[in-house]
A and B are shown apart, each in its own frame.
Chain A
C-alpha cells in the first residue's frame, strides 16, 4: 500500500527547510496582509471612506452634491424614523429573492437538459444564445406593455438577468464532467433523474455555484434597472426619489445599501458553496 505516513512528508519538508536555511531568500518588502485576517477586507472600504471625507473637506463639490459619510448615516436614520428605510430595503430584497430563484430554477432545468442532451441543445441552444445576445434592458418596454407596471415586469426582468449566467455556466459545467464518472453511474444502474441527482448535478456544481453567484449579481443589477423604471418602493425608488428631490445623501445611502446587500447575499452563497464543495481538492490561492 502506498504510504501516507505524515512522517515522510515531514521528512521532505525538513530537507526543503534545510535548504532554505543554507541559502536564505533575499529580504523582500511585504505588506503584513496575512496577519490582518478578515480585517484586511476592510482596508479598501476604509480608504474609500477617507478619500470621500477628504474630497468633502477640500470642497470639490458642494455639500449638497457630495455630503460627508456621517450625513449619509443621518439620512438613513431620518428615513428609519419615518418608517421608510426597512420597507424599501425589504421590497428590494424580496424582489431579488423571488426573481433570482425563479431565473435560477428555470436555468437549472433548461441548462441540465441542454448540457446533457445534444438534441435538446440543437433545439434550444441557438435560440437561447440569440436571446442572450439581446441586452436584457431592451426587453423592458415590452415587459411593461405586456405585464403592466406592477411587480410582474420587475420580477421577470430580474429573473431574466439571473437566468443567463446560471444557464451558461451550468451547460459548460455539464460538458466538462468527466465522461468516466457518468459511465460509472450507468454501470451501477443510474438512469434519468437518478443519474442527474447523483452524478450530473454534483459534478457540475462548481460551475453551477459560479453561475448562481454571477446570476445573483446580475439580479441586483436588474433590480435597480427595474425599480428605476417605475416603482413606489425599493432601493431603486429611493435612488429616483433622491434624484428628484436633490438629496445626494439619499442617493449615496441607496448605493451603500445596495453594495452591502449585494456583498451580504454573495457572502451567504459563497459560504454555502464552500460547504458544499468540501470534497474538492483544488487550488485555493496562496496564504
Chain B
C-alpha cells in the first residue's frame, strides 16, 4: 500500500569549519500516495541530503517529514532506498543480498522470482564483485522491490550507468511502478530521466536549496517542458 510523503518547512544546517552551513531551507513537498515525483537539481545542491532526511538516515534541523500519518524519526520499515552505488554486501551472493532484506516481509517474493523480474536469472549465486555495474544496480533495485515498500526512495540510482543501461533500468522501474502500489521519490540531475519517469518534477535550486518550481508531466509536451526546465537552470537547448 502506497503512503503519501509530506515534507513541511524542512531545513538542514551542517556544522562547517567556518560556522553553520545551511544546505536546505524551507522545503515544502507533498507526494501523494502512488505518485512518482522527481526532485531535479544540479550536483551538490542538496538533493541527496533531502532524500536521506526522508529515509531517516539523517534528521532535519527544521520542519517535519511524515510518511503517511507517522513522523520520520528513524529509518522507516515502509521505505526502501536505492543509492547511487549498488552498495551490495560483498560477502553475500546476489540471492543472499535480496533474501536478507526480504526477511520479515509478509508474502515476500522469493529472491529467484524477483531476480528473474530484473533479468538476473542465473546470477543468484554470483558474488557482487563478479557483476557489472548495471547488473549490480539491478540487484539493488531487486533488493528494494522485494521489501514491497510503501515509499521507494531513489538517490540518482542510474547516474553511474552507461546510457543504454540507464534507459533499460528506467523502463524496468516504470514497469514496476505502473500499478501505483508505491510512492516514488527520485532524486536526479538528469532532466530527460525525470521527464520520462515522473508524474511531477520538482526543481531544487539555490544556496541553501529550496524548491524553485514544480511541473506536472502529464498532458505536457515533453520537448517544451524540457526547454522550460533547462531555462530555469539558465541553460539553452542545443539546436
Contacts and interface: CB of A to CB of B under 8 A. Distances in A.
A189 B75 contact: yes
Interface stretch (A40-48, A116-124, A127-135, A197-205): A197-205
Contacts of A187: 55-57, 75, 79-81
Interface string B6-45: 0000000000000000000000000000000000000000
Interface stretch (B63-71, B161-169, B215-223): B161-169
B132 A2 contact: yes
Given A1-B132, A1-B165, A186 B89 contact: no
A281 interface: yes
Among A187, A280, A281, max chain B CB count under 10 A is at A187
Contacts of B133: 2
A2 B162 contact: yes
B87 interface: yes
Nearest to A282: B129
Interface stretch (A31-39, A69-77, A176-184, A266-274): A176-184
Interface in B162-180: 162, 164-165, 168
B86 to A, nearest CB: 10
B57 A199 contact: no
Interface residues of B, number: 32
Q: What band does the interface of chain A fall in when counting residues whose beta carbon is under 8 Å from B?
A: 20 to 34
Interface in B128-180: 128-129, 132-135, 143, 147, 162, 164-165, 168
A283 interface: no
A148 B217 CA distance: 82
Contact of B87 (A4, A184, A198, A205): A184
Contact of B89 (A2, A3, A184, A189): A184
A198 B91 CA distance: 9
A183 B83 CA distance: 10
B90 interface: yes
Among A180, A199, A279, max chain B CB count under 10 A is at A279
Given A184-B83, A199-B89, 13 more contacts: A1-B132, A1-B135, A2-B133, A2-B135, A187-B79, A188-B147, A189-B104, A198-B100, A202-B91, A278-B127, A279-B90, A279-B127, A281-B127
Contacts of B211: none
Given A2-B162, A4-B132, A279-B129, A183 B91 contact: no
B85 interface: yes
A186 B135 contact: no
Contacts of A205: 91
Contacts of B90: 279-281
Contact of A186 (B57, B92, B147): B57
B101 interface: yes
A198 B132 contact: no
A232 B104 CA distance: 56
Contact of A188 (B100, B132, B134, B162): B100
B206 interface: no
11 contacts: A2-B133, A2-B135, A2-B162, A180-B83, A181-B87, A183-B57, A184-B89, A188-B100, A189-B104, A279-B129, A281-B127
Nearest to B97: A184
A2 B165 contact: yes
Contacts of B231: none
Nearest to A203: B91
Nearest to A278: B127
A278 B164 CA distance: 32
Contacts of B91: 202-203, 205, 279-280
B81 to A, nearest CB: 5
